Amino acid sequence: MQTVVKEVLPQKTRWSQRAVARQMCCDKSTVKVYAETIAVVIPDYLKECPRNPDGSIQSGFSLSQYQCWVVCQLVKLARTIKADLNGTPYRKVVKATAIKMSQALSRDSFECETGSQVA
């Protein structure tokens, strides 16, 4: 009988953007763009972002397990959209799609899918 293995990242409480890039086989600047400009449209993700004294989001912050999951989902989505759009600009499309599917990228969805309740 064959067992099903979920595609889950190794268990860590925080992920550096560089480590996520290595895990996803992409450039760290790609992860930075997704973590700091695209994923922030998701309310649960934005709540966990560290802030500067002026209220803006810190640059280069490490990601919680939930934030890492969101960024990985968006990178996978972007790869599909990029292939479909055949070279035309796609990041705005990914951001618009993230807004539309923010419920599917919520913390509740993460906990349901991974069985994780880590802060």
Percent above pLDDT 70 for the chain: 87
pLDDT of 3 strictly over 60: no
Q: What phi, psi does 15 have (nearest 5°)? A: -125, 135
pLDDT tens-digit series, residues 37-64: 898 899 999 999 999 999 888 888 999 9
Instruction: Report, as an integer, the average pLDDT of 12-29.
Output: 88
Are the beta carbons of 68 and 9 closer than 8 angstroms? Answer: yes
pLDDT value at position 22? Answer: 92
69, two tokens: 């999951």
77, two tokens: 């989505």
Q: What is the dihedral of CA 57, 59, 62, 64, to 10 degrees?
A: 20
The reported pTM is: 0.81
User: Which of 37, 42, 26, 30 is CA-nearest to residue 59?
Assistant: 37
| CA 81 to centroid of chain Cα atoms | 16
pLDDT value at position 47? Answer: 92
pLDDT class of 106 with cuts at 50, 70, 90: very high
Q: What angle do CA 110, 30, 118 make, to 5 degrees?
A: 25
pLDDT value at position 29? Answer: 93
pLDDT of 9 strictly over 60: no
pLDDT value at position 88? Answer: 82
Exposed/middle/buried for 7, CB within 10 Å: 0-12, 13-18, 19+? Answer: exposed
> Hey, what long-range contacts does 76-81 have (CB within 8 A, 24 or more apart)?
78/34
